[in-house]
Structure 1
């Protein structure tokens, strides 16, 4: 199994290459790596997940996400995935997921508490009484995507679950370090911990691609 990329490895590469980075792309990578480093020093899963999601945001979110008329956050990071996958000639993203499939990836995907229709049903919204059938169908479709090596679809499934967890934590729908439903936070943090560094590393390998303009540039 290939070892996960660490903050020290990413930072050393960034220092070695940053003179050739376009300003906006360099800012993205600098910020994302800083939050990856912060996540590594965090000793609780809630904090790790939040810091790694910030690193993910730093890498992908451009000014369009903050416009009044926006396509939605999930569609924005789907476009980011498409760009990464097109550049990922060695299939590093898929291989990272495959290596962890029997661990945090499988556990996350088998957890109903990060499946949006589950919460729609339990919040009394009509039309989601069949959430269990939907969950089983989603699990089958995910397994088929993995088997087919469809990286785009695999990432879509995984980040749909991670986005539910992100909303639950960030919008105050959970208790810090709670003894209830800890598995999804642990597994979500573990999945982000091995995927986000790969995303950032691929960006550094392709600095001249259009990674978008950060909405919050450095202003003197």
Structure 2
């Protein structure tokens, strides 16, 4: 798929090839695309756009089997998903997308302390987090090194570490809708998910026979 990947292009592709999708994968992709479409309809409502895109991410990656058998920490589940995606990304579409946006929302998000978990741990008085500023600088260097090495899994993991903090702020009521004090990270987070999620889903549709896991709450008649 060339050019900007949007809800329309994803939906057209899905309709053309979905007959060959395994049932569980078809449901996963159908759900993710629906939430990408809802996110695109949000306009400048960055809070809503971020939340809808995060739902799309959950629909794409979450494997019910892992949570039922031996619960896996969410960040570990993220890395597993990123590993599968990047192994199939022969054209390095994910890496190129991050590179194109690096000087914009990606860099700005990584420079924002308000989506860095150790900052909040220190702010909340948790012992052992007094060195959050050193960790913040180390995280920036780690990202730069991973980016230089073309390590897409590590790059995505570092970016989604920040996005996960933002997700918690919004979903757990730690922010006010359309608040002036957190506009930058919400705007940048929504922009990052907005260009990554369509690529993730498109790659999944290119490889429908991969084991993408069991989606939560399957359709039961």
Q: If the TM-score is normalised by the length of the shorter chain, which range does it land in?
A: over 0.9
Q: Which runs of structure 1 show a deviation greater than 3 angstroms over 4 or more consecutive aligned residues?
A: none
* Corresponding residue number in structure 2 for 1:16: 16
Q: Deviations over 1:10-35 (max 9, x none)?
A: 00000000000010000000000000
Does the 8 Å contact 2:78/2:157 carry over to 1? Answer: no
| CA apart distance, 1:67 | 2.2
SS at match of 1:100: helix
Question: 1:83-98 counterparts in 2 under 5 A?
Answer: 83-98=84-99
1:130 counterpart residue number? 131
Alignment of 1:133-172 (within 5 A): 133-172=134-173
> Could you tell me how far apart the structure 2 residues matched to 1:145 and 1:69 are?
30
Correspondence list, 1:26-41, <5 A: 26-41=26-41
For the residues of structure 2 that align with 1:71 and 1:98, how far apart are their CA atoms?
A: 30
Indicate whether 1:219 and 2:220 are aligned: yes
Work out the CA distance in 1 between the residues paired with 2:126 and 2:63: 33
Report the 3-state secondary structure (helix = DSSP H, G, I; strand = E; otherwise coil) of the residue aligned with 2:214.
Answer: coil
User: 1:3, CA displacement in angstroms?
Assistant: 4.1
Measure how far apart 1:72 and its partner are.
1.3
Q: Give the Å deviation of 1:148.
A: 1.4
Deviation at residue 65 of structure 1 after TM alignment: 4.8
Deviation sequence 1:69-126 (CA, Å, 0-9, x none): 4011111121111100110011010010001000100001110000000000000001
Q: How does 1:62-141 map to 2 (within 5 A)?
A: 62-67=63-68, 69-141=70-142
Figure out how many residues of one structure are paired with residues of the other and give that number: 219
1:62 Cα deviation from its structure 2 partner: 1.1
- Give the unaligned 5+ runs of structure 1: none
Give the distance between the partners of 1:116 and 1:145, measured in 2 at CA.
20
C-alpha distance 68-173 of structure 1, shift in aligned 2 (>3 A): farther
SS of aligned partner of 2:30: helix
Deviation at 1:46, TM superposition (A): 0.4
Paired residue secondary structure (2:180): coil
2:62 counterpart residue number = 61
| TM-score, length of structure 1 as denominator length | 0.97
User: Cα–Cα, structure 1 residues 57 and 105, in superposed 2: closer, same or farther, change >3 Å?
Assistant: same
Alpha-carbon shift at residue 129 of structure 1 (Å): 0.7
Deviates more, 1:77-86 or 1:66-75: 66-75
CA contact (8 A) 2:115 2:166 kept: yes
